[in-house]
Each structure stands twice: as structure tokens, then as C-alpha cells.
């Protein structure tokens, strides 16, 4: 069966969920299937044997631009329309501080300065409002459009119809201010959101671009990874990264797989053992037969998982959009009601009734609503940055405020990634002698576990002289003391070849063929892990471990930190399915630092990573804890709640102002100039309340 080709388009001009719906409909009408459109990343992907030219044309007719080359888009649409709007809004605002006779008060000049703002920023909002109305979603941009259009047409009436006191009817500066101020808020959010879109390119960096392909059993040629095919042979040496999935045909490798699988301890692989792309060779050399070529290997699967997770990520309806869904029909209804009351109850003239009706729309100017979220977000983000927490988008603060389940990765997240000697059982020989032997052997190795053991034992005992020390990568290390005793410290896996005993330890020390000690190695919990988990639980959060590491290791850390639940030995795909399931009943925060966490970080309601994490984990997350400390997570959650509460307060004030002003305007008792001052006051109150966030205690 022929597989439908997959297509991906980069699109400029999508500003909201409704825009993505419009693009999706345009593709669907032409026969597109499996359509995914993400307005924040500006990407649309779909399958189907359809005419791409027609798809591009249909999307363009919907008001969006197809980006042919990533480098061609030097400035975003939001930034462009904001700059244009700002240039013409500044002289319009200056008319309020000059004499009435100034040329800046000339209605024709004000109209000329307002038109570029409407044709740039105004069109930007009108397009989103159109799609909102078309999909029956009255979003914030419907409110913004209604506000500036009302002010504009009211001003046109004052400029060209009214003969006396026309300046009382001129609101051209209000028209421009609404557009420019709300654009500023959108620009701040866009700059933050765009920082999250580099995750896929970071993943590509994990794969070497060149591979050493072996032909005729001897000849080695350097080829692009894209050229590798199934059953090709490649040479892998110490320090290499696996470019594709394969199976070892000959040789042995010790691999660091923790970034892909979450396994904290390096893994030894020999002949006929599978190896996966993205893992790093600690030591060894091998001839590897390719089992999955470029585009189908583990790294490619993770890339697809991250891409799909970004598209499927749960969307929240912003508080402004929720209020707009109620406020817009309320204001329109109030406007019509004012008209009928003026005509039939108060018996005003038709002209007065129309003007009072329009005044209702003008006075319900959404400037304060447009500033309610962006100002609080700016202060909240700045406050978090001072406390070592970086936030990539304003919407993240709302999601932090509503979170109820925190899911942690293990290695490098709850633990330090450094190993400690958790337990030592000694047989036949003294504990001091055994520690001396272990120290003397391990100080000859640069293996991560060896370095940790040396660091720990150096404080307790001194080394003894050992000769003929040999390290056998992936197996262990051996040496002979002055009395001729052959000591071997080997992994549990290799110990099975030296003894018939069933051992559960991680490392085993032999004297000849006798077991003289067993060592249990543990990935150490971070200093503040227990305190952080305790705080989370006492504040009503559920806590969970989701790891690719072995059951024993996960069980130990879950018990030590009193986590509510844990999952172990989970692949990136399995982690993703678990997060997807948890998302249905919880607002999930995923905390992780590895490549294997990237898809889950992208899909969770909020992804949290560390400044020391892998680039792909950082770019798949919305919250970055600059240092390695988990304590910063508490700060992020507290400031998130404070910021969201401030946004709610700001919207309440903006809404409260309108509740008072609209009835007064409907009756014709509120002069436009007084209304303008009231609107300015509401903006000051909103901004002042947002600034109070700075001094609130965490």
C-alpha cells in the first residue's frame, strides 16, 4: 500500500488559534489529511497526494504568507506592524499636550496619521477578529477591533459632520493607542514564544553529519549520514555518537545512554547487541550493521515525537478571551439598548441617539484590558528572572497557576547524576583492606562510577600499592598486590562469568575466584529534593516519578522522597503516552533534563528544565531553572499564582470601569473628554497594580 507523502509549510501571519483553524480548513478542502497546524511555531504539516501549489494559493487567499526560505523572514509581522503603528501613534498622542491651535489638532492631519496605523496594526487585529467571528469565538481581538473601529468612525463623524466643538468628538489618538498598546503586549509574548521553536534543530545536532562506512570488509569512506542504508556497515570508535540505529557485528562498546533511555549507569554492549542513535561511546570500538537508516532511527522518532507534542500541546483559552466572549456581546447589546432608550424613552433626536449609542462603544475602549495581562506578565517574568527562573511565554504563568500534578524525571532532575556508595558488604577480609583495594583500583580509571568511588573513599582510607593494573572496559578493572593476590572489581553482569552465585549488587570485588565484597551504587538525591517534594505535597500538589532507569533505582528514590507514584524503564514514546493520559485529568508540569524527556516536556501543560540540561530539553520547556536547584520550582509556582491573580485583578478593574461608564454614556451624560481621562486613569491603575508584583513576597 502506497504511503501518503508528508508535507510541511512555514506560514507567517497566524496570530491565534482561529487563524490555525482557517489554515486547517483551507488544507482540508483540497484533500489534505492528518493536518496539524501550530500558530505559535508558524508551521503546518499534512499528508496526502495533493497539489502543493493549490494549497499554498489557498492559504495565501486566506490572508497568510508562505515562507519559502527561513532566512527571508528577518522581521516578524507583529514587530513590523507595531513599529509602523508606533511611529504614527506618537505624534497623535502629542496633540493632548499642545495648544488647540497647534497643527497636531488639525482633524485632517490626525486622520492622515491614523490611517497607516489602521492599515497595518488594525488589519492585523481585524483579520484575527474575522476568523474569531467566523468560528463563533469572540476572542480578545474582536474586542480590540470593536474598540478602535468605534473610536475611528466616531472621530470621522466629528471631523466631517459636526460643525461646532469638533475636538470633543475626535478620538483618532484613541484609535491608534488601542492598536499600538495591544500590539506591544502581543510583541512581548511573541518574542518569548519564538524561543521555544529551536528544539528540533538542537536534536539534529545530536547526530553526527558524517559517518565512516565500511565496504568490502576493509575500505572506509566518509559519507553523509543521509546516505546510510539498512545493512550498511559503519565503524564506531571511542568518543563517537551513534548516527543511526544498528547492531554490533564485531567489537565491544561501553555506551552512555542516559540522555536517550534515562539509564544512569553506562551500558556495556558486545557482538549481536542493539545500539541506538544519539548515544555516546565512552570506550571501545565496533563494526556496526545499520538496522534503521536516516529518517527511521531513534533520534528521528524523538524528533517526530517532539514535533507532534508541540502541535498537540494542550491550549488554554486566555483570560482576556474568556472575558471578551462575555464582554463583547454585552457591550453591543448595551449600545443597541442605549439607542432604543434614547429614541423611545427619552425621546432624543435620531442623531443624538446614534451618537450616544456609538459613545457606548467608544467608552468601552479595551486599552486597560489590552494592558491587563502584558503588564503583569512583564513584571512577573522580570521577578522570576531575578530569582533564577526564566519563563518563555506569558501564557505559561497562567498554566503554572493552575498546575496540580508535578512529574519528575530521575537522573539529573531529582538526583545529582553523581554516584555514591550506598552499601558495602565485606566477606573474608576487613572493611578497611577492601576499601583500600577498591580505592587503589578505581583511581587508575576515569569511569564516572570510579571517579565517584575515589572521591568518597579518599576521605576514609589511603591507597595501597597494586601492580599490573589493567582496566577492561565494560567489565571492570584488576590488579595484584605485593602478596600476589589478584583483585578484580567487576560489574554484576560480568561477575556471572567468575562465580555461580546469584548476586544482586552493582559491583563485585574478587580475590582470585572468591567474592570478597559486594557494592551497591546509588544515584544521589539532590540536597533540596526532599524539602521541595515535601513543600509540594503540603501545598496540594501530587508528585510522580517518570524515568527510563531501572525499577530498583526508581523505587529507591521514590521511597526516599515519599513520591506519590513512580514509573520505571519507560522509553520516550511510553513517557509521552503517560503524559498524554495524565493531561486529561490534571494540569501537568513535567520536570526533566534529558533528550528522552524532550517529547514529554513539550506535551505537558508546562515543561520545566534546568540551565545545565541538554539544549533539546531546554528548548522543549517553557520554564528554565537557571541553576540545578529544585527549590526554584517553588518560586516559579508561587510567582505564577501571584501573576495570574494580578491579571485577574487588572481585568476586574477594567471591567468595573466599563460597568460604571457605559450606562452614563448611554444616557448622554459622559462627555468624550471626561471619558478619555477616565480611560487613561484605568490604564494607570492597571499598570500600578502590575508593578505591585515586584514587592510581593514569594
Asked if the structure places residue 149 within a domain, the reply is: no
Domain end call among 480, 498, 524 = 524
Share of the chain above pLDDT 90, in %: 15
Catalytic pick from 202, 409, 523, 593? 409
User: What average pLDDT does this structure show over 83-99?
Assistant: 84
Structural domain includes residue 265? yes
Residue 70 has pLDDT above 70, yes or no: no
CATH code (residue 23): 3.30.70.100
Q: Tens digits of per-residue pLDDT, 104-128?
A: 888 889 999 999 999 998 888 888 7
More confident of the two residues 33 and 351: 33
Burial 261-297 (b: 16+ CB within 10 A, else e): bbbbbbbbbeeeeebbbbbbbbbbebbbbbbbbbeeb
Q: Is residue 449 part of a domain?
A: yes
Mean pLDDT of 342-370: 72
Average pLDDT over residues 250-256: 86
**Domain end call among 524, 544, 568:** 524
Tens-place pLDDT, residues 428-450: 889 999 999 999 998 888 777 78
The CATH number of residue 434's host domain is 3.40.1110.10
For range 78-104, the mean pLDDT: 83
* Residue 391 · residue 378 · CB < 8 Å: no
Please report whether residue 215 resides in a domain: yes
183 alpha-carbon distance from chain centroid:
23
pLDDT digits (tens, 9 = 90+) for 402-411: 899 999 998 8
At 582-620, the pLDDT tens digits run 998 999 999 988 777 888 888 898 999 887 666 677 777
Say how far apart CA 354 and CA 350 lie, in whole Å. 6
The band of 198, judged by pLDDT with boundaries at 50, 70 and 90, is very low
**Whether residue 409 lies in the annotated active site:** yes
Which comes out higher in pLDDT, residue 286 or 473?
A: 286
- Is 94 domain-assigned? no
* Of residues 174 and 645, more confidently modeled: 645
Q: Is 436 a member of any domain?
A: yes
Whether 116 maps to a domain, the answer reads: no
Name which of 216-225, 285-294, 299-308 the model is least confident about.
299-308
Label residue 394 by pLDDT band (50, 70, 90): low
pLDDT, tens digit (0-9, with 9 covering 90-100), for 146-162: 778 877 887 888 788 77
The pLDDT, as a whole number, for residue 18 is 60
In a domain, 367, yes or no: no
**Which residues lie below 8 Å from residue 580, measured CB to CB, with a gap of 6+?**
312, 603
- Residue 3 clears pLDDT 60, i.e. is over it: no
Q: Is the entire prediction scored with pTM above 0.75? A: no
Domain finish residue from 72, 87, 113: 72
Alpha-helical segments (H) within 118-171: 123-134, 140-160
- Residue 199 is predicted with a pLDDT of 44
Domain count, the chain: 3
Q: What is the pLDDT of residues 34-52, one digit of tens each?
A: 787 766 567 788 888 888 8
Give the structural domain span for 423.
Answer: 417-524
Mean pLDDT of the chain: 79
Amino acid at each position: 500500500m502506497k504511503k501518503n507523502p508528508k508535507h510541511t509549510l512555514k506560514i507567517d501571519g497566524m496570530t491565534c488559534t482561529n487563524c490555525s483553524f482557517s489554515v486547517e480548513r483551507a488544507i482540508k478542502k483540497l484533500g489534505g489529511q492528518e493536518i496539524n497546524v501550530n500558530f505559535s511555531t508558524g508551521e503546518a504539516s499534512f499528508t496526502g497526494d495533493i497539489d502543493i501549489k493549490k494549497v499554498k494559493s489557498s492559504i495565501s487567499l486566506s490572508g497568510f504568507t508562505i515562507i519559502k526560505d527561513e532566512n527571508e523572514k528577518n522581521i516578524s509581522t507583529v514587530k513590523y506592524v507595531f513599529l509602523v503603528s508606533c511611529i504614527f501613534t506618537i505624534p497623535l498622542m502629542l496633540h493632548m499636550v499642545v495648544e488647540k491651535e497647534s497643527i497636531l489638532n488639525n482633524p485632517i492631519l490626525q486622520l492622515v496619521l491614523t490611517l497607516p496605523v489602521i492599515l497595518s496594526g488594525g488589519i492585523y487585529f481585524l483579520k484575527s477578529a474575522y476568523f474569531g467571528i467566523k468560528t463563533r469565538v469572540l476572542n480578545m481581538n474582536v474586542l480590540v477591533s470593536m474598540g478602535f473601529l468605534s473610536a475611528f468612525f466616531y472621530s470621522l463623524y466629528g471631523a466631517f459632520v459636526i460643525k461646532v466643538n469638533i475636538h470633543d468628538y475626535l478620538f483618532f489618538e484613541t484609535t491608534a493607542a488601542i492598536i499600538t498598546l495591544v500590539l506591544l503586549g502581543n510583541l512581548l509574548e511573541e518574542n518569548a514564544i519564538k524561543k521555544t521553536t529551536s528544539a528540533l534543530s538542537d536534536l539534529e545536532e545530536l547526530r553526527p553529519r558524517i559517518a565512516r562506512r565500511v565496504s568490502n570488509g576493509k575500505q572506509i569512506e566518509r559519507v553523509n549520514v543521509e546516505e546510510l542504508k539498512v545493512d550498511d556497515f559503519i565503524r564506531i570508535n571511542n568518543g563517537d555518537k551513534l548516527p543511526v540505529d544498528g547492531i554490533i557485528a564485531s567489537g565491544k562498546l561501553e555506551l552512555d545512554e542516559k540522555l536517550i533511555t534515562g539509564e544512569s549507569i553506562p551500558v556495556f554492549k558486545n557482538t549481536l547487541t542493539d545500539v541506538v542513535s544519539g548515544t555516546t561511546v565512552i570506550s571501545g570500538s565496533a563494526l556496526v550493521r545499520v538496522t534503521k537508516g536516516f529518517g527511521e532511527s531513534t533520534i528521528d522518532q524523538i524528533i517526530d515525537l517532539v514535533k507532534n507534542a508541540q502541535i498537540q500541546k494542550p491550549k488554554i483559552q486566555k483570560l482576556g478571551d474568556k472575558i471578551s466572549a462575555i464582554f463583547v456581546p454585552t457591550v453591543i447589546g448595551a449600545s443597541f439598548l442605549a439607542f432604543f432608550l434614547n429614541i423611545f424613552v427619552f425621546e432624543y433626536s435620531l442623531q443624538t441617539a446614534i451618537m450616544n449609542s456609538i459613545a457606548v462603544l467608544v467608552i468601552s475602549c479595551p486599552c486597560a484590558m489590552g494592558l491587563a495581562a502584558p503588564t503583569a506578565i512583564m513584571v512577573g517574568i522580570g521577578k522570576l528572572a531575578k530569582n533564577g527562573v526564566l519563563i518563555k511565554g506569558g501564557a505559561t504563568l497562567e498554566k503554572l497557576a493552575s498546575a496540580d500534578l508535578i512529574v519528575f524525571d530521575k537522573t539529573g532532575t531529582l538526583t545529582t547524576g553523581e554516584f555514591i556508595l550506598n552499601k558495602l558488604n565485606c566477606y573474608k577480609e576487613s572493611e578497611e583492606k577492601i576499601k583500600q583495594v577498591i580505592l587503589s583500583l578505581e583511581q587508575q580509571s576515569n569511569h564516572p562510577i570510579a571517579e565517584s568511588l575515589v572521591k568518597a573513599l579518599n576521605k576514609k582510607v589511603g591507597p595501597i600499592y597494586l601492580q599490573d593494573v589493567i582496566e577492561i572496559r565494560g567489565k571492570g578493572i584488576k590488579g595484584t598486590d605485593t602478596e600476589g593476590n589478584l583483585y578484580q572489581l567487576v560489574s554484576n553482569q560480568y561477575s556471572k562469568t567468575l562465580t555461580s552465585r546469584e548476586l544482586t549488587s552493582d559491583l563485585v570485588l574478587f580475590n582470585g575466584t572468591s567474592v570478597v565484597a559486594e557494592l551497591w551504587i546509588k544515584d544521589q538525591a539532590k540536597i533540596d529534593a526532599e524539602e521541595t517534594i515535601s513543600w509540594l505535597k503540603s501545598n496540594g500538589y501530587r508528585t510522580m516519578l517518570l524515568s527510563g532507569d531501572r525499577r530498583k533505582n526508581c523505587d529507591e528514590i521514590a521511597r526516599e522522597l515519599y513520591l506519590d507514584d513512580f514509573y520505571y524503564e519507560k522509553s520516550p514514546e511510553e513517557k509521552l503516552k503517560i503524559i498524554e493520559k495524565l493531561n486529561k485529568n490534571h494540569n501537568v508540569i513535567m520536570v526533566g533534563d534529558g533528550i528522552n524527556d524532550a517529547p514529554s516536556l513539550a506535551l505537558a501543560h508546562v515543561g520545566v528544565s534546568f540551565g545545565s540540561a541538554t539544549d533539546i530539553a531546554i528548548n522543549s520547556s517553557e520554564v528554565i531553572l537557571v541553576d540545578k536547584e529544585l527549590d526554584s520550582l517553588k518560586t516559579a509556582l508561587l510567582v505564577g499564582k501571584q501573576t495570574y491573580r494580578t491579571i485577574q485583578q487588572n481585568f476586574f478593574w477594567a471591567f468595573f470601569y466599563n460597568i460604571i461608564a457605559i450606562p452614563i454614556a448611554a444616557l448622554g451624560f459622559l462627555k468624550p473628554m471626561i471619558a478619555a481621562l477616565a480611560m487613561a486613569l484605568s490604564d494607570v491603575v492597571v499598570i500600578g497594580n502590575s508593578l505591585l508584583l515586584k514587592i510581593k513576597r514569594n
